[in-house]
Structure 1
C-alpha cells in the first residue's frame, strides 16, 4: 500500500496540479492580455453599420458633418437655376450640356434656354430631379442645370497682353484671401463693368471659378479672363517690375481711395478678405494701402461691394 493509505493498483495518468489546487487557480487569473479597443473587436463594424443606417433612417442626422470629397480640378461645374442658366447661355458661357428635369413646368425662361442651347449646339438631356439634386450638390436648380467644363486659367502675363492689345492703360484686379466663390463672381461683375482687363487669384486657399462663381457673375466671367498664380506675392512683384502700381484695399489703410493719386496709372487693385484684410506679404508689395471712407457705424464691407466701390472710383478718375 502506498503512502497515505491509498492503493496504487495502476499508475495515475494525471499531469500537473490536481483539480481544485492552487495551480489551476493561478493560471485562470493570468488573463489574456490587455482589452482591445472598440474598433478592434469583432462586433464593432456591425454596430457602426447599424448606427449609420439608423441615422440615415432618421434623416441623416449625425454629430459630425459628412466629409466632402475634394473635387478634381478637371471635373465639370454646374450652374443651377432658370435665370442663371439663361444668363449664362445668352452670355456665351462655354457649356457641354443643358439638363432639364422630367415633366418640368415650362415657362419663358426654360423655353428660351432650350432654344439658345440648341442654336449653339449644346446637348439637351432630360433627367430626373434626383439627378439634378446630385449634380448641383443640393443647390436650388428649379429644374434646369447647365454643365460647363473646368475653367482654363490664364497666365498672369496674359492679362497684360490683353490690355496691350486693347491699347488701354492696364487695370487688373487681384484677390487675396477671398474664399467665397460668390464674392469672386460679384467682383468679376464689377471688374467687367468698370473696364478691368482681368482678374488674378492665388492657386491655393482661395476661391476659384466654380459653378457658384459663374452663377453670381451672371455671365461676366465669359468676358473676363482669370489668371491663377502659385505665388500671389511673386506675381505682384512681377507686375511692379513691368511698370504697374499696386494699390491694396484694406480697412486699416491710411488714405481714402478717392485721394490715391495712382488711379490713372497702370494699376493692380488688390482686394483682401472681408475679415482678415490683406496678408502681410501682400501688403509689403503694395505702393499704397487705401481704405473706403465709411460712417463709424459700419464695421466693414463685403469684399464684392468693396471691390465695386473701388473700381468705380478708378473708372471715375480715368474719365477725367
Structure 2
C-alpha cells in the first residue's frame, strides 16, 4: 500500500462504493484505489483491496477529510478510473447498424430517463438479463455518473452503451439489423401476459416515468405492450418495469448464444 500523500487532483473520473469499485477493478478501468488508513483491517474492504492487489492496482491511503473532499458517501473507498470514461464500450448510432449482433440479442432503449440512479438501475436489470447493449439519449438523458455506476452495481462497466441524439433514429438503425422494437406503453391494448415475444433480436423500449414514450418513438416501435397493474399503485419505476418485462416476457424465449 502506498504511503499517505497530499491530496492530488486528476482528470481521471472517480467512482465510489465497494461493489462498483470491485467491478471497475475487474474491468481493468481503475488506475488507483484510495482508502482511509487501516482499511486492510476493515472486513468489508478486504475483497476490494484483494482485487486491487491481484490486478496490481496501486492502493493509497488518504485521511478521512481528504476522502470526503473527493467524494461524498464514499463508504471508505474511492477508485480513480481512466479519463476516457468508466464505460465498458461506447457505441455510436452508426455502430448500432454495423455491429454483428447475436441472433437472439437484446437491446434496451431508454427514451427520456433523466435521473442517473434510474439509468444505473435500468443498466443493472439489462446486464443481469444478458442484454447486448443499452441505448440512451444525450439530450435530456441521464449522464453516466458515479451515482449511476453505483446504482448499476457495476453493470455500466460491462454493458455496451450507445448515447445518441435521436432515439427514434437509433431504433431504426437497430431495426435495420433485424431487431423488433417493442415499446412499453401503459395505454397499449396488448399486455405482456397475452402477447408472445417475437423470436430473434428484440429491443425493449422504455419511456420516462412521467411522460412515457415520446410520440416519434412510439410510432417507430413495431409492437406496443402494457405491463398491467393490479394494486393501488398505477406504475413501476423504469428499472422495475424493465426487469419485469425482461424476465417474464423476453427471457422465457430462451437466451442462448453469444451476446
Q: Answer whether TM exceeds 0.5 for this pair.
A: yes
- How far residue 257 of structure 1 moved from its aligned partner, in angstroms, is 1.8
Instruction: Please tell me whether the aligned partners of residues 183 and 304 of structure 1 are also in contact (alpha carbons under 8 angstroms).
Output: yes
Following superposition of structure 1 onto structure 2, how do residues 112-261 of structure 1 map, counting pairs within 5 Å? 112-136=47-71, 138=72, 140-149=73-82, 150=85, 151=87, 153-158=90-95, 164=101, 167-261=102-196
Identify the residue that residue 81 of structure 1 maps to in structure 2.
Answer: 17
Q: Secondary structure at the match of 2:141?
A: coil
Instruction: Give CA-to-partner distance per residue, 1:284-306, whole Å, 9 cap, x none.
Output: 11112211111141221010000
Instruction: Give CA-to-partner distance per residue, 1:251-281, whole Å, 9 cap, x none.
Output: 2222102333443232111111111111111
- How far residue 225 of structure 1 moved from its aligned partner, in angstroms, is 0.6
Identify the residue that residue 17 of structure 1 maps to in structure 2.
Answer: none
**Aligned counterpart in structure 2 of residue 109 of structure 1, from 35, 41, 44:** 44
Q: Secondary structure at the match of 1:282?
A: helix
Identify the residue that residue 198 of structure 2 maps to in structure 1.
Answer: 263
Instruction: Please tell me whether the aligned partners of residues 178 and 206 of structure 1 are also in contact (alpha carbons under 8 angstroms).
Output: yes
Q: Secondary structure at the match of 1:258?
A: coil
**Aligned counterpart in structure 1 of residue 226 of structure 2, from 286, 291, 298:** 291
Identify the residue that residue 4 of structure 2 maps to in structure 1.
Answer: none
Ranked by relative contact order (alpha carbons within 8 Å, sequence separation 6 or more), the top structure is 2
- How far residue 206 of structure 1 moved from its aligned partner, in angstroms, is 0.7
- How far residue 319 of structure 1 moved from its aligned partner, in angstroms, is 6.2
- How far residue 121 of structure 1 moved from its aligned partner, in angstroms, is 2.7
Which deviates the most, 108-117 or 247-256?
108-117
Following superposition of structure 1 onto structure 2, how do residues 83-98 of structure 1 map, counting pairs within 5 Å? 83-89=19-25, 91-92=26-27, 94-98=29-33
Instruction: Please tell me whether the aligned partners of residues 163 and 170 of structure 1 are also in contact (alpha carbons under 8 angstroms).
Output: no
Is residue 316 of structure 1 aligned with residue 249 of structure 2?
no
1:187 and 1:163, CA in 2 relative to 1: closer, same or farther beyond 3 A? farther
Aligned-pair Cα RMSD in Å: 2.5
Q: How many residue pairs end up in the alignment? A: 242
Q: Name the CA distance, whole Å, in 2 between partners of 1:162 and 1:193.
A: 21
Identify the residue that residue 6 of structure 2 maps to in structure 1.
Answer: none
- How far residue 200 of structure 1 moved from its aligned partner, in angstroms, is 0.7
TM-score (norm 1): 0.68
Instruction: Give CA-to-partner distance per residue, 1:48-96, whole Å, 9 cap, x none.
Output: xxxxxxxxxxxxxxxxxxxxxxxxxx9543222334433543x435112
Q: Secondary structure at the match of 2:209?
A: coil
Instruction: Please tell me whether the aligned partners of residues 99 and 145 of structure 1 are also in contact (alpha carbons under 8 angstroms).
Output: yes
1:271 and 1:75, CA in 2 relative to 1: closer, same or farther beyond 3 A? farther
**Aligned counterpart in structure 2 of residue 273 of structure 1, from 195, 199, 208:** 208
Instruction: Please tell me whether the aligned partners of residues 79 and 147 of structure 1 are also in contact (alpha carbons under 8 angstroms).
Output: yes
5+ long unaligned stretches in structure 2: 1-9
Identify the residue that residue 30 of structure 1 maps to in structure 2.
Answer: none
